[in-house]
Structure 1
Amino acid sequence: MTFPHVLIDGLVLADPMGGALRYAIETWPRCAELLHARGGQLTALVAQKEREKDWVRGLAAHGALHLDFIEAPMRPAWKRALNETSAVQNWMERSEACGNPVHLLQTQSLPAPNPRFPGQRVHLSHGLRRQLEGPWWSRRLAEFALRQCARRTDALIAVSETLARDLASRFARVPIRVAPPACDSLPALPREPGDHVLCPGPLVPHKNHALLIEAWGQDPALPPLHLHARQDRHARPLIERIDALGLAQRILWREPLTGETWPEALATCAAVVLPSRLESFGLVALEALHAGAPLALSDLPAHREVIGLAQSAVRFFPPTNPLACANAIHQAVAMTDPACQALRQKRAQDFSWEQTAERTVEHWSTLVGPAL
């Protein structure tokens, strides 16, 4: 009797680095080691086009983790879903023919692949952004895809208690487990704060960068703002607004941050500001805590969950109020007390990637148990 063979469908994962990709990089090897120690196996399917990327090379170095590569288009979503289903189905059939059947399939993309499969299915949910943001027709399609996935799955894994509650309100009969991200693999450098405020991340609408521009427009006393983001199609209206308010000397564009540059950016900023309208966890907030950086962030349930008992050491603001945002930033920048920094870093220690992996494998084992 051995523990199961788990197959993770990671075909949707790709550079640039985001929360879902970082989660995979940190958890897959740890989960593989835990399964291997119990006589099980973890295989992850990755898109062929990512094969030579650094993140894949790093994962391939872990002996307990098996990677396989599949040629499958990722766009548009409906074509990806059809090809993904066929690709996963064919892979599982080949594996079974070789005497290595899959006992549990974990998906994370929507629409979720739907291969013919007698084993257990788990869906890892990183959030409900597509169900809550965008045109009505897009939200409706995303909601339909999520409901179809929930109908076919045996359990859902959510990255936060906040997200788990949102999912439970939709799917009362589906078991929902939580396996939150962590930050303990990120180096925490000694703080040498400069005079600027840092805002990292993509310029997607729900990240709410427009609020920051209005805050800087209303408060000339705010320190310089560094926006570390790729200037894609979402940047044009922001740039136009910055120019209209005469803020080009105070709001500065910087290169997107990488795993190598992120620790130094956290160590050298006066504060981090996160104005999102929607978050399912708040990994950047957690990493700012880990670095000890002062933090001003939107008052969202997910942010409150991440900050936990360190709420007195950060500042919250409504994500619709530029002036409140400006005031929170001023207060955060002034929070240089070592006791506040220690409280922020202490809270970050409540999370670990090892714990995330242990929870995940525990959830898998609850569904499958030892496999004959």
Structure 2
Amino acid sequence: MKRVLVDLLFFTGRKGGMESYVREVYGRIEPEADGLEFIGFASSELAGSDTTWFPGEIVDSGISGEDRIAWARGELFSVARAARRLRADLVHCPANLGPVWSRVPVVLTVHDLLPFRHPEYVPGAYSRILRSMIRVAAHGARRVLTVSAASAGDIVRYLRVPVGRIDVVPLAGQDTDARPPAAPLPRLPRHVLAVGNRMPHKNFPLLLEAIALIPAACRPHLTVTGSHGDDPLAPVVARLDLEAWVSLRGWLSAEELDRLYAESSLIVFPTLFEGFGLPVLEAMSRGCPMVCSDIPVLHEVAGDAAVYVAPQDTAALAATMRRLLDDPAELARRSGQGRERARTFSWARTARHTVASFQRALAER
């Protein structure tokens, strides 16, 4: 039996797409992982929460995932020490960063290279530190997992990792076959939902400007979820005089988010850059019609099921939302196409291919 130490220092219960990734993969990995056992090296926040999804022992690192300095030190040094102490045969670092050096081989998941592709979206000193940490982790890893062909290309280009050391393992949306069907909720007419944090590349100010371009008589209601603390979109809403049409929501539980997806007429994802675009699949798997940015990685994810708009064209986004909301038949058609597209992705397959990467790393010397 080989022991895999899973680096869970980044995860606190409030970390969005990467947290969904690690919970979904490790919630499904046990049937795929013959000959492997797992131990989670967790942040103090995660260790104090419900970790029944993890298929092994959880060790409390005593490190806060909310304290950037403590977390960075933990990634660089504590993970490797824990791997030796706990007699691990392999380390999986699922959140872009890992040890500066490790005697135990490492598989690193790199979701995206935002600090390399768009350093202007990450605060200056923090961007430089992240670039250095990602580069060190990738060069020290025996194998690098990533979530899309677009991200794999960035890893080769910016990190100079050979293609032969990279495993592309796409993510998935909601597993509609794994849970009992809920009673359907009526979709609210002319209700638009956007999901994501407030990093600049999420491009939510442009979405608000597009909403403002739609005449008040037919303007949809917009809900934007995912803020932490004071919402930087609030002044934009006030400037555009959109208080009657826009709801800014904080971090939501899975149940609350499910309800919003079920009630919304249209989901909009106006991002400028993504490594994968998990909210797109999560929305389509729930039958939500999708408008998203016309960038290569989202074509990888959504195929022909989404409606694409240039991510900096405010007028085109406004016109597209208005056209779709005025056409219930088209919304219904897009809903069906989205469900079909989402079914081509599977968390069980993601878990299986993740284990295959682990086995390759263990076999290599």
Match of 2:5 in 1: 7
The farther-off stretch of 317-326 and 82-91 is 82-91
Query: Does structure 1 retain, via aligned residues, the 8 Å contact 2:9–2:64?
Result: no
CA apart distance, 1:120? 2.2
Report the secondary structure of 1:122's partner residue.
Answer: strand
Whole-Å separation in 2 of the counterparts to 1:213 and 1:229: 15
Distance 1:183-1:122 versus aligned 2 partners, 3 A rule: same
Whole-Å separation in 1 of the counterparts to 2:234 and 2:174: 35
Report the secondary structure of 1:68's partner residue.
Answer: strand
The farther-off stretch of 319-328 and 134-143 is 134-143
- Match among 178, 183, 187 for residue 168 of structure 2: 178
Match of 2:48 in 1: 52
1:180 partner letter? P
- Match among 197, 218, 227 for residue 224 of structure 2: 227
- Match among 279, 284, 292 for residue 289 of structure 1: 284
Match of 1:257 in 2: 252
1:230 partner letter? S
Query: How do residues 132-211 of structure 1 correspond to structure 2 at under 5 angstroms?
Result: 132=118, 133-170=121-158, 171-173=160-162, 175-185=165-175, 190=184, 192-195=186-189, 196-211=191-206
Report the secondary structure of 2:106's partner residue.
Answer: strand
Match of 2:324 in 1: 332
Match of 2:93 in 1: 107
- Match among 111, 114, 132 for residue 126 of structure 1: 111
Whole-Å separation in 1 of the counterparts to 2:129 and 2:77: 21
Distance 1:321-1:281 versus aligned 2 partners, 3 A rule: same
The farther-off stretch of 332-341 and 209-218 is 332-341
- Percent identity for Structure 1 against Structure 2: 25
Query: How do residues 254-333 of structure 1 correspond to structure 2 at under 5 angstroms?
Result: 254-308=249-303, 311=304, 313-333=305-325
TM-score (norm 1): 0.86
2:344 partner letter? D
Match of 1:342 in 2: 336
Match of 1:99 in 2: none
Query: Does structure 1 retain, via aligned residues, the 8 Å contact 2:173–2:285?
Result: yes
- Match among 17, 20, 23 for residue 19 of structure 1: 17
Distance 1:52-1:172 versus aligned 2 partners, 3 A rule: closer
CA apart distance, 1:341? 2.4
Distance 1:40-1:314 versus aligned 2 partners, 3 A rule: closer
CA apart distance, 1:17? 4.5
Match of 1:357 in 2: 351
CA apart distance, 1:90? 3.6
Match of 2:38 in 1: 42
RMSD (Å) for aligned C-alpha atoms: 2.5
Distance 1:135-1:201 versus aligned 2 partners, 3 A rule: closer
1:218 partner letter? L
Report the secondary structure of 2:29's partner residue.
Answer: helix
Whole-Å separation in 1 of the counterparts to 2:83 and 2:251: 38
Count residues with an aligned counterpart: 351
Query: Does structure 1 retain, via aligned residues, the 8 Å contact 2:148–2:275?
Result: yes
CA apart distance, 1:290? 0.9
CA apart distance, 1:182? 1.1
Report the secondary structure of 1:350's partner residue.
Answer: coil
Whole-Å separation in 2 of the counterparts to 1:120 and 1:231: 35
- Identify unmatched segments of 5+ residues in structure 1: 97-101
Whole-Å separation in 1 of the counterparts to 2:309 and 2:76: 43
Match of 2:83 in 1: 92
- Identify unmatched segments of 5+ residues in structure 2: none
CA apart distance, 1:265? 1.3
Distance 1:144-1:92 versus aligned 2 partners, 3 A rule: closer
CA apart distance, 1:240? 2.1
Distance 1:59-1:240 versus aligned 2 partners, 3 A rule: same
Distance 1:355-1:110 versus aligned 2 partners, 3 A rule: closer
Query: Does structure 2 retain, via aligned residues, the 8 Å contact 1:296–1:332?
Result: no
Whole-Å separation in 1 of the counterparts to 2:96 and 2:161: 20
